[in-house]
Chains A and B, each alone.
Chain A
């Protein structure tokens, strides 16, 4: 009986844990997209008002304590090996885990413009990318609020049901 109760407890805990991990994954991705959107907004200002060179902008973003700094660190490291910027950008994006196709497309398109066009063109592309990623982050957050909390309740119940069936 004790073993069965313990088994039920651990199975329920596992169900809750799984739901929690899924929720955190969703929230982490939303935070990453939001951080990227904010980085693009800062880069837009640095490009248009200060005419700051792109490597300096990336260096500045990589040293910030945000969810996107890792992306910029990898990008900078790759670019410094002598790889053309567009290729470095593309490779770094393709390595982001769990990036939706929509986000990926927006960011890849941005890479075609970044550093290779007039400030105004880059500004427009950065603005569009920032807005799109922000919208996606908002959608993910809302989804996390609804689906996440539902799963937090549903997964333990399911686990409990399975445990009782196994009893």
Chain B
């Protein structure tokens, strides 16, 4: 994590809470992964996977409202679809997940009241993909890579750096970035610097974005975050049939988890993905990447 990202994310918190987290020692601030707000409890920060409660006033309803206001730039109406899925991406690529009392209207989830929220700090770690790329042959076409890990271990961070490394090698890359989490791109934020040969499409559902990118930007490599739905699989299959190499992330612990999911297993059998990268957390908070041939 970086101090810059920490500061940027802490500004999204209500002023009183932002002041509390900014008082944390620099070493903790650098390693903070997320802020957790639960109604009636003090704010806590997650450092190296462990939650630590801060000595501050309990979170009140208006704190959650202000957090949501800051994350949506006082424009909740622009994030309703994302909120229906439980999370939104704020300026800087930080992800706000919400929980509370919801209902269903016209088949969509609508929150009536928020009771807890987690703000995951987006981090842009340079060169973390270098050791991964060293283990993967740079063939033409580039082999498909599937990044596998449980939530919060840095799949998106690794994917982002992989994109940057490959862009430096002059591959033309298209990113189907529905929530702007990979690129960090939003209405008033340019996003993370990824390279001049990278095209990003945000605000469009992943599967549709992938199809649009292939049709309009003809990328050599397409990147997509957190695949899972049937539509994603079909879009990935179509992309592969168009000769596009794929970089994708998926939740899971092992390759066996992936093989247990029929649609994903089929993609592997078809050779859409040739390599799997598994992420594990070391005791000191750093990450290890294990590359396996699928």
Contacts and interface: CB of A to CB of B under 8 A. Distances in A.
A53 B76 CA distance: 8
Interface of A: 47, 51-56, 79, 82, 84-85, 114-119, 122
14 contacts: A51-B77, A51-B78, A52-B78, A53-B73, A53-B75, A54-B75, A55-B74, A55-B75, A85-B69, A85-B74, A115-B74, A115-B76, A117-B76, A118-B110
A115 B79 CA distance: 11
B80 A116 contact: no
A53 B187 contact: yes
Given A116-B65, A118-B110, 4 more contacts: A53-B78, A53-B187, A85-B74, A116-B69
A55 B76 CA distance: 12
B73 A55 contact: yes
Nearest to A88: B74
Contacts of B73: 53-55
B152 to A, nearest CB: 29
Nearest to A48: B77
A116 B76 contact: yes
Interface of B: 14-15, 65-66, 68-69, 72-78, 80, 110, 187
B51 to A, nearest CB: 27
B14 to A, nearest CB: 8
Contacts, number: 47
Given A53-B187, A82-B15, A118 B76 contact: yes
Contacts of B80: 118-119
Nearest to B110: A118
A117 B65 CA distance: 11
B77 A84 contact: no
B77 A79 contact: no
A54 B74 CA distance: 6
Nearest to A58: B74
Contacts of A53: 72-75, 78, 187
A47 B77 CA distance: 8
A162 B65 CA distance: 61
A117 to B, nearest CB: 6
B74 A122 contact: no
Nearest to B81: A51
B126 to A, nearest CB: 31
Contacts of A115: 69, 72, 74-77
Contacts of A84: 14, 65-66, 69
